[in-house]
């Protein structure tokens, strides 16, 4: 392992040199090749824009409606309530009017700082964050330094996306002896009218009460209105103000209009310094779960970028889950897939178990819908949907066959529930949350198999992890996950002193894992060696423990590696890295770890270019580093080697040496 690290450091040193492992910087921003980054707190996601003082979209977790793509629900884009305009000496500032334009993501404090010069007149700095301690509220801090005598006109803008209906704009001022509170508010209906959505913002001024600028409200049309003020600045003078912005929907509150305004008032009267302090304290607590590769700031930054997105998209003490694209937009319609349980959940389980529990709570609350889904397909127990959104029913577009046939998702849910108990040892949670799900998952698989004789309890007509093979029989990963889920349900019953259904182990023992004549695991009954999308068979060795002997693991790797699609998703390459690490082949592990992280190198280019993959692929290096069988764990001065299956407490800092 020591040799591996030295090679690793040498290979990436020039790539990592000169950048903080906590920062991602873009200083040659090209709007035609810009993807952006997301500021999020597990509820509100704010996607950055190439245009100064603007953001692209604002996404509200847990709020879905039917619009745009696929005839299925989409996560809801809410009002863009954090945009700003700026006039300097009466001229509207746009991309052509600025220079020295830079955006910098500070992952440690979850803030995006934008800086630019307005000719020779002013320097502008804007820092934005989706406040961690206030789930529905954002804070933007604007600092303008005058290089000459100038008049500035900052404008706080609320804009409605085109799909919101019956939009109403409001402006009010609450006058108290000690404070004046300006409230800019918009309210509208989601495309079907099912949800009411509201957003509100307010200025925080540094001047004392009675000395702050006068606010002017301009109502341009139903889709946009703004609040602005004028300020004269002398050369060398710096002026600072802030904007707090809140958004909610009727998915969270019965009366979102009033609640958005109440939350904005609360944040405004908390003041900038208190908001910043509590936000930073919350992130400091979160970053106790950190991964640092000693001696290599570049790969440390990559892994932190992965963790930053996981931590930004998830939140403890909720029942929200994760889409493959998180809160970074409408990718995958904001739906929840197997990506959540198998790929994004494990690092959270080790580093932030309370966040991981929220992902499981999402599934538990939709157990009834999963049982109805099983019933409608002629099975018992619970059949979780391939794509899930608000109510837990199937939300896959009809043209995609994955919805009716990618049944391994149900096993993945069961797998995740048992792993939570293995890591935390929380028996009360197992009794009230884990067991109700695990027993229904086991019941599903016991009814799903076709009992064709000993060793032939077949699972036919499915789509496996390799989605390029449709409607096949006895898929390796599906069968392996079914066997695993059945056995985990049995273990859960024993832990709780409940007599398990003996049929569960009987069925698990008789579900086949097919092989070729030479002993290589066969992906499905008709697989003939064609190119595969991603890991399927290899998942049986990790994260499952279906295949454990080194000879078979190597044979399967040797057979399937040449058949991986070179442009396939990074998930498969992450698994290859884990397996080669387990086999002690560190050079090969390095190769596949770099394959994954190279997908992320766009993060360190001059701008954030658009790439076909999204944040789900950014999360994979964490899977490689955190979820190997063994890794070096350190907590303060304490250090020991820890086998993951036996971990009974979350460790908060991982140092790979």
Q: How far apart are CA 228 and CA 223, in angstroms?
A: 17
| 101: nearest Cα among 531, 607, 609, 610 | 607
| 53: nearest Cα among 89, 101, 91 | 101
Q: How far is CA 78 from the centre of its chain?
A: 18
| 275: nearest Cα among 407, 127, 472 | 127
Q: How far apart are CA 289 and CA 618, in angstroms?
A: 17
Over the Cα atoms of the chain, what is R_g? 26
Which is it for strands 137-146 and 238-249: parallel, antiparallel or unpaired?
antiparallel
Is 528 exposed, middle or buried (CB count within 10 Å of its CB: 0-12, 13-18, 19+)?
exposed
Token look-up 């690793």 returns 8
Q: How far apart are CA 162 and CA 199, in angstroms?
A: 15
CA distances in angstroms from 332 to 70, 388, 396, listed in the order given: 10, 11, 10
Catalytic residue among 372, 467, 495, 613: 467
Which is it for strands 290-293 and 653-656: parallel, antiparallel or unpaired?
parallel
Sign of CA dihedral 570, 575, 576, 581: positive
**327: helix, coil or strand?**
coil
Cβ density class 391-429: b for 16+ within 10 Å, e for less? ebbbbbeeebebbbbbbbbbbbbbbbbbbbbbbbeeeeb
Is 363 in contact with 413 (CB distance < 8 Å)? yes
Q: Is the peptide bond before 256 cis (omega within 30 degrees of 0)?
A: no
Q: How far apart are CA 484 and CA 508, in angstroms?
A: 8
Is 606 in contact with 28 (CB distance < 8 Å)? yes
Is 534 in contact with 338 (CB distance < 8 Å)? no
* 467 flagged as catalytic: yes
Task: Find the largest Cα–Cα distance for the chain.
Answer: 88
Q: How far apart are CA 17 and CA 12, in angstroms?
A: 9
Q: How far apart are CA 620 and CA 613, in angstroms?
A: 12
List residues with catalytic annotation: 467
């Amino acid at each position: 392992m020591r040799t591996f690290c030295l090679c690793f450091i040498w290979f990436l040193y020039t790539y990592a040199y000169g950048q903080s492992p906590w920062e991602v910087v873009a200083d040659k921003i090209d709007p035609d090749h810009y993807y952006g980054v997301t500021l999020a707190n597990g509820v509100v996601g704010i996607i950055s824009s190439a245009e100064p003082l603007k953001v692209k979209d604002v996404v509200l977790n847990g709020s879905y409606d039917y619009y745009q793509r696929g005839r299925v629900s989409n996560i809801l884009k809410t009002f863009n309530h954090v945009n700003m305009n700026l006039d300097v000496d009466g001229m509207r500032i746009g991309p052509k009017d600025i220079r020295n334009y830079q955006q910098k993501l500070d992952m440690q404090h979850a803030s995006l700082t934008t800086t630019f010069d307005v000719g020779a007149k002013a320097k502008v700095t804007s820092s934005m964050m989706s406040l961690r301690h206030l789930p529905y509220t954002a804070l933007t801090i604007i600092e303008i330094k005058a290089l000459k005598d100038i008049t500035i006109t900052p404008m706080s803008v609320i804009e409605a996306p085109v799909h919101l209906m019956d939009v109403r704009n409001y402006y009010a001022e609450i006058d108290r002896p000690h404070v004046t509170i300006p409230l800019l508010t918009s309210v509208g209906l989601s495309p079907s009218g099912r949800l009411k959505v509201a957003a509100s913002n307010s200025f925080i001024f540094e001047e004392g009460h009675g000395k702050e600028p006068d606010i002017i409200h301009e109502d341009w049309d139903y889709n946009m209105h703004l609040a602005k003020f004028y300020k004269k600045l002398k050369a060398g003078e710096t002026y600072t103000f802030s904007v707090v912005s809140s958004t909610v929907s009727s998915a969270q509150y019965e009366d979102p209009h009033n609640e958005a305004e109440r939350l904005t008032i609360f944040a405004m009267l908390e003041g900038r310094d208190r908001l910043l302090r509590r936000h930073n304290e919350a992130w400091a607590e979160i970053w106790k779960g950190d991964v640092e590769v000693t001696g290599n700031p570049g790969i440390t930054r990559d892994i932190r970028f992965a963790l930053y997105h996981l931590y930004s998209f998830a939140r403890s003490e909720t029942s929200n889950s994760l889409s493959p694209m998180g809160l970074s937009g409408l990718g995958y319609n904001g739906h929840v897939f197997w990506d959540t349980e198998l790929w994004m959940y494990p690092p959270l389980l080790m580093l932030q178990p309370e966040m991981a529990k929220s992902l499981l709570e999402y599934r538990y609350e939709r157990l009834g819908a999963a049982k109805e889904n099983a019933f409608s397909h002629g099975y018992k127990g619970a059949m979780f949907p391939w794509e899930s959104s608000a109510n837990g029913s199937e939300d896959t577009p009809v043209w995609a066959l994955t919805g009716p046939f990618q049944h391994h998702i149900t096993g993945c849910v069961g797998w995740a529930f048992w792993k939570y108990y293995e890591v935390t040892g929380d028996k009360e949670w197992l009794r009230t949350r884990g067991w109700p799900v695990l027993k229904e998952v086991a019941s599903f698989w016991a009814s799903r198999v076709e009992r064709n004789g000993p060793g032939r309890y077949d699972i036919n007509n499915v789509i496996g992890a390799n989605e390029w093979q449709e409607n096949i029989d006895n898929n390796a990963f599906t069968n392996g996950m079914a066997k695993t889920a059945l056995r985990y349900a049995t273990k859960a019953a024993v832990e709780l002193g409940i007599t398990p259904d003996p049929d569960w182990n009987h069925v698990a023992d008789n579900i086949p894992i097919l092989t070729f004549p030479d002993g290589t695991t066969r992906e499905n009954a008709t697989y003939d060696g064609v190119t595969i999308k991603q890991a399927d068979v290899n998942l049986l060795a990790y994260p499952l423990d279906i295949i454990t002997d080194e000879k078979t693991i190597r044979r399967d790797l040797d057979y399937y590696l040449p058949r991986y699609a070179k442009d396939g998703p990074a998930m498969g390459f992450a698994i290859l890295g884990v397996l080669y690490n387990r086999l002690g082949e560190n050079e090969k592990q390095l190769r596949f770890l770099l394959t994954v992280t190279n997908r992320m190198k766009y993060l360190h280019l001059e701008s954030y270019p658009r790439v076909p993959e999204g944040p789900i692929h950014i999360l994979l290096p964490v899977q490689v580093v955190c979820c190997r069988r063994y890794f070096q764990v350190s907590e303060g001065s304490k250090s020991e080697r820890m086998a993951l299956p036996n971990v009974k407490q979350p460790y908060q800092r991982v140092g790979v040496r």
